[in-house]
Structure 1
Amino acid sequence: MAQPFKLLDSVFLSSRRHRQNALHPLLGPLLTDCISRLYSSYRRPGTSPDDTPRWNINFNFEKGVNEVKKQFGLLKKEFMNHLKGPEGCTLEEFIWKQTRVVWEFRSQKDLDEWVVSSDAEIGGKSEAYLKLSKNNQTALLYGNLSTEVPRDGETEYSGYCAMRAKLLQGAFGRKKYYDWSNFNSLYLRVRGDGRPWMVNIYTDPYYSHQKDDLYNYFMFTRGGPYWQEVKIPFSKFFLSSRGRIQDIQHYLWLDKISTFGLTLGDKADGPFQLEIDFIGLLRDRAHTEEFAYELYKKS
C-alpha cells in the first residue's frame, strides 16, 4: 500500500507542470490568431534580425464584448442564487437536505467536467479512458495498468491511473469551492472489478506550504455484476503531503473543497474498469465521530 501514496504526487501535481498559462477570460477572446511558439535569441549564421518570427495579434472586439456579457450573466446568476439561499436553495431546504448528488454521468457534458490521467505523463505505459456506458446513464473508467518504470534514470515508481474533477470557476475566472459542511459522509454508487481505489479530496490550502496536501481514503470494490453503494465518513480521511502520510493529522475542512479524484495504483498489471453512477454526499445522523485519528499538539 506504500506505492499508491508515492504516486499521488504525480497524479494530482503533474498536471501543474504540464498546465499551459491561460489568458485572462476577458483577454482571451480579444486575442485571436496569436502565435504560441517561443523563440530563442539564437540566430543561424547568414540570417538578419528582420527574419526573426514575430507575434501576430489580431483584436476581435465582437468576441470580447460577447465574453463580457457572458461573464456578467454568470455574475448575475451567482448573485441571485446568493439572495435565494445557500447554493441556490432556500435556507429550510439547505438545512433539512439529507443527500446531494454532486456529479452524475448522463451526457458528454458531464464527462467534460473531469480530467483523466495516467503515468504516461511521466513516461509510463499505463492507459486510462473515460466514456459513457452503453445506456448513457453511467460513466465507465477503463484502461490498462502497467508498473513498468520509465528508463529515464530519475523515475523510481510507476503504475497509476486516475480521474479528477476540474476546478470550479465563477464569473471573471474567480476561484470557487465546494461547501460540504452540511454533510458528514461521501456517497458513491459504483460497480468495479475487485480492485482497490484511492479516494482523494483536495482542499484550498490556508498556507502556501500546504499546497501539496491531500486527504485520502480507500474504496474497495467487490467485483461482479452487482452495484455497490459506498459510504465513507469524512472523519476517516487522513492527511498526506506529496504522497507521504503526515505524522500530524488534521480533520478535513469541508467548507472549501477544491477538487475530488479517484486513483488506481495497486501494483497489479492488467486491465481495469470502474463504472460510476453518481458521486454524492450524505448526512448520516447515526455517525457522530469527529475524527478517526489521534491529533498531536505541536510543541
Structure 2
Amino acid sequence: MAMPRTGSLLSARLLGTFPKQLVWASASPWSVILRNHQSGYRRPGQPKDKRWLWQRINFDFSKGVDSVEKHLGLLKDEFLQRWVGPEGKPLVEHMLEQTRVMWEFRGPPSLNQWIVSSDQEIGGRSEIYLKLSRNNTTALLYGTLCSVPPRDGETRYSGYISMRSRQPRGLLDRKKPHDLSSFNTLHLRIRGDGRPWMINIGSEGYFSHQQDDMYSYFLYTRGGPYWQDVKIPFSKFFMSSRGRIQDIQHGLFLDKMNTIGFTLGDKADGPFQLEIDFIGVCNDPTHTEEFAYEIYKRNPEV
C-alpha cells in the first residue's frame, strides 16, 4: 500500500522562484504513451486523442532491423562484462575507483545523451538550445527565458527551461541505472552568467509511488569569464515529488541513479547561458554526513 505524499511548508523557502513544472520524458515510446494516457493531461485547447495505444506507434521495418542490431550488441556487451567486471572494468579497479567522469562533451555524439525542453510544451515562449563550443570540448546551453503564460485561460505560470540526461537502457530496452554507491560527491566544472540553477537527480525507487520522486539542490553560478569548480555532496540533495518538497525525507539511492538535469526558472526574463565542461562524481573521505536535513517521525523513538 502506497504511503500518502504531502508537500512541506518549507517548499516556498527552498524552491524560491523556481517553477513547479518538472518535465521528464522516458526514452521508451511505450512508457511515454502509457504515462500520458494514465495522467490524462493534455495541453489546453487541444482535442483529446481517442486512438488506441497501438495506433499511436509508428511501425517501421527499418526501425525494427536497427533495434534488433542494437539489442544484439547490448547482449554481447552485457555477456562480456560479466567476465571482465562491472561496466567492463576489472573488479579491483572498480573497488578502488575514487573519481569518475560521467558526462563530458568532446564531440557531436556527446550531445545525443541529453534532452532539452522548455515551457513551449505548455504553450510558453521560452527558447533553449544546446550546442558545442567553438573548440568542440564543452557544451553551451543558451536561449531566452520568458515568464509570460500562454493565453489559454488555464495556465497561470510559465517561464522555465530544462536539460537532462537520457535514461540509460540495457538489453530489451530495460532501465539500466548508474551505480554510484562508491561515491559521495557530485563534481561539476561550469561557467555561467550569474543565474541560479537547480540540479535535479532522478533515482529509481523501490515502490510505484516513488516514480515521481526527484532529488534537487541549488547551483549558484558566479558569472564572468572564469570557470567554476563545484562539489556538492549527495547528502545535501532534498527530495520532492511533482514539484513539492516532502515532509518525509530520505537520502538519495546512489545505486539507482537514472538521470541528472538542470532547470532554470528564476522569472528573470532575458537571455541565459551555461557552459559545461564535464559532470563527474568523486569520493571525499572527509565528508561523513549521511543526510543534511531533519527527518520527521510521527512516533519518534524514546
Short-chain TM bin: 0.7 to 0.9
Q: Map 1:1-299 to 2 at 5 A.
A: 1-8=15-22, 11-12=23-24, 15=25, 20-21=29-30, 60=61, 67-299=67-299
Rate the CA distance shift 1:146–1:285 in 2: closer, same or farther, 3 A.
Answer: same
Count of aligned pairs: 265
Rate the CA distance shift 1:58–1:132 in 2: closer, same or farther, 3 A.
Answer: closer
Q: Distance in 1 between matches of 2:83 and 2:297?
A: 41
Q: Which letter maps to 1:146?
A: C
Is the CA contact 1:3–1:157 (under 8 Å) kept in the aligned structure 2?
no
Rate the CA distance shift 1:192–1:85 in 2: closer, same or farther, 3 A.
Answer: same
Identity %: 60
Deviations 1:160-192 (A, max 9, x none): 111011111112212111111110000010000
Is the CA contact 2:190–2:275 (under 8 Å) kept in the aligned structure 1?
yes
Q: Which letter maps to 1:6?
A: K
Is the CA contact 1:235–1:251 (under 8 Å) kept in the aligned structure 2?
yes
Is the CA contact 2:108–2:132 (under 8 Å) kept in the aligned structure 1?
yes
Q: Which letter maps to 1:73?
A: G
Q: Which letter maps to 2:76?
A: K
Question: Which consecutive segments of 4 or more residues in structure 1 shift more than 6 A?
Answer: none
| Structure 1 residues not aligned, in runs of 5+ | 24-37, 41-53
Deviations 1:225-251 (A, max 9, x none): 000001000000000011111111111
Q: CA deviation at 1:68?
A: 3.3
Q: Which letter maps to 2:75?
A: L
Q: Which letter maps to 2:116?
A: V
Q: Distance in 2 between matches of 1:163 and 1:81?
A: 30
Please give the secondary structure, in 2, of the residue aligned with 1:116: strand
Please give the secondary structure, in 2, of the residue aligned with 1:111: helix
Is the CA contact 1:5–1:244 (under 8 Å) kept in the aligned structure 2?
no
Deviations 1:30-83 (A, max 9, x none): xxxxxxxx897xxxxxxxxxxxxx9xx9985x8756753542232121121122
Q: CA deviation at 1:96?
A: 1.6
Deviations 1:269-291 (A, max 9, x none): 11000000001101111111110
Q: Distance in 1 between matches of 2:233 and 2:264?
A: 20
Is the CA contact 1:124–1:148 (under 8 Å) kept in the aligned structure 2?
yes
Q: CA deviation at 1:132?
A: 0.3
Rate the CA distance shift 1:281–1:125 in 2: closer, same or farther, 3 A.
Answer: same
Q: Which letter maps to 1:290?
A: E
Rate the CA distance shift 1:69–1:263 in 2: closer, same or farther, 3 A.
Answer: closer
TM-score, normalised to structure 1's length?
Answer: 0.82
Is the CA contact 1:108–1:132 (under 8 Å) kept in the aligned structure 2?
yes
Please give the secondary structure, in 2, of the residue aligned with 1:135: coil
Q: Which letter maps to 2:203?
A: T
**What RMSD in Å do the two structures reach over aligned CA positions?**
2.6
Q: Distance in 1 between matches of 2:17 and 2:59?
A: 49
Rate the CA distance shift 1:74–1:134 in 2: closer, same or farther, 3 A.
Answer: same
Q: CA deviation at 1:2?
A: 3.3
Q: Distance in 2 between matches of 1:59 and 1:7?
A: 34
Q: Distance in 2 between matches of 1:21 and 1:108?
A: 27
Rate the CA distance shift 1:171–1:225 in 2: closer, same or farther, 3 A.
Answer: same
Q: Distance in 1 between matches of 2:29 and 2:70?
A: 23
